[in-house]
């Protein structure tokens, strides 16, 4: 059993290992927070996105962790629970790039650190053998011509008991099982090394996205993604829902589906919830 002092030592170790240009230029690490995402929003509102861009907020545990569409997400000690603040002047249509870049960074870091292969599930879940191991939550502020800021919330089940996490998720409509890296490996994973790899890879993608609007991020994301073309899905928006078949992805990252009445629709991840029908 690790002591509180051991957790305290994680901060200087991460600083010593991390080699980035932008992401992680300041790191705030807490033993417990209500939500790293909420603290990140408070920092942006208090100081402005340019001043706190690149900041990373990490918590050993969260009291009120959430996923997409307000779903509860258990955040016990042993997992990675962090938020990254990004400033940007890109067009709002490029917002999806940061979400896809974050899920790519997590998937690549998992492979690099553990040898486990993972797949990406639209829009931003990381799956191992059909079970969720990680997710990305995106909060963004945009105006008519540019992105003002993006806050990426990243959660990874690392050294946690996935059965306990599943039990602690009170939402009974959670669409699939969860897993953890330690459960998949049968051994503990070096959490600090994994954070370091996630942040370094995210830093690489952030710099490429910002400097090259033609950077083929979507193609790299597709390479690691579950093939969803021609797959049936159930699309829900609030209390309403419908079944459809996936046609593919648009350049802006939205999902194109055809409904049973042959009506074609673009599904934007922030507005809809998608459940793939087996």
Whole-number pLDDT of residue 5: 47
Task: For residue 245, give Cα distances in angstroms to 119, 122, 257.
Answer: 20, 14, 5
Determine the structural domain holding residue 61 and report its residue range.
4-224
Q: Is residue 16 domain-shared with residue 150, that is, in the same domain?
A: yes
Q: Is residue 204 domain-shared with residue 261, that is, in the same domain?
A: no
Q: What is the pLDDT of residues 137-183, one digit of tens each?
A: 999 999 889 999 999 999 999 999 888 877 766 554 556 789 999 99
Output the domain CATH number for residue 236.
2.30.30.100
Q: Do residues 84 and 202 touch, judged by C-beta distance below 8 A? A: yes
Output the domain CATH number for residue 40.
3.30.930.10
Identify the CA nearest to 132 among candidates 206, 76, 190, 74: 74
Whole-number pLDDT of residue 76: 85
Q: What is the pTM of this model?
A: 0.90
CB neighbours of 106 closer than 8 A, spacing ≥ 6?
118, 126, 134, 136, 154, 156, 198
């Amino acid at each position: 059993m690790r002591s509180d002092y051991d957790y305290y030592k994680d901060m200087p170790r991460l600083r010593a290992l991390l080699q980035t240009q932008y992401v992680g230029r300041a790191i705030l690490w807490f033993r417990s927070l209500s939500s790293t995402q909420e603290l990140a929003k408070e920092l942006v509102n208090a100081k402005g996105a340019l001043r706190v861009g690149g900041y990373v907020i990490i918590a050993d545990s969260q009291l009120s962790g959430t996923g997409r569409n307000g779903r509860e997400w258990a955040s016990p000690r042993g997992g990675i629970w962090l938020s990254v603040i990004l400033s940007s002047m890109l067009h709002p249509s490029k917002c999806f790039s940061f979400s896809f870049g974050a899920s790519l960074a997590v998937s690549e870091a998992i492979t690099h650190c553990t040898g486990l292969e993972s797949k990406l599930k639209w829009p931003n879940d990381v799956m191992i053998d059909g079970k969720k191991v990680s997710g990305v939550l995106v909060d963004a502020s945009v105006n008519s011509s540019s992105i003002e800021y993006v806050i990426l919330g990243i959660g990874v089940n690392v050294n946690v008991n996935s059965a306990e996490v599943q039990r602690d998720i009170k939402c009974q409509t959670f669409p699939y099982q969860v897993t953890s890296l330690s459960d998949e490996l049968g051994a503990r994973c070096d959490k600090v090394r994994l954070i370091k790899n996630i942040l370094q890879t995210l830093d690489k993608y952030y710099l490429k996205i910002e400097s090259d609007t033609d950077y083929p991020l979507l193609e790299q994301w597709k390479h690691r993604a579950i093939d969803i073309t021609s797959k049936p899905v159930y699309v829900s928006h609030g209390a309403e829902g419908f079944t459809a078949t996936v046609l593919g992805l648009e350049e802006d990252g939205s999902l194109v589906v055809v409904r049973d009445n042959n009506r074609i629709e673009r599904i934007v991840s922030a507005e809809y919830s998608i459940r793939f029908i087996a």
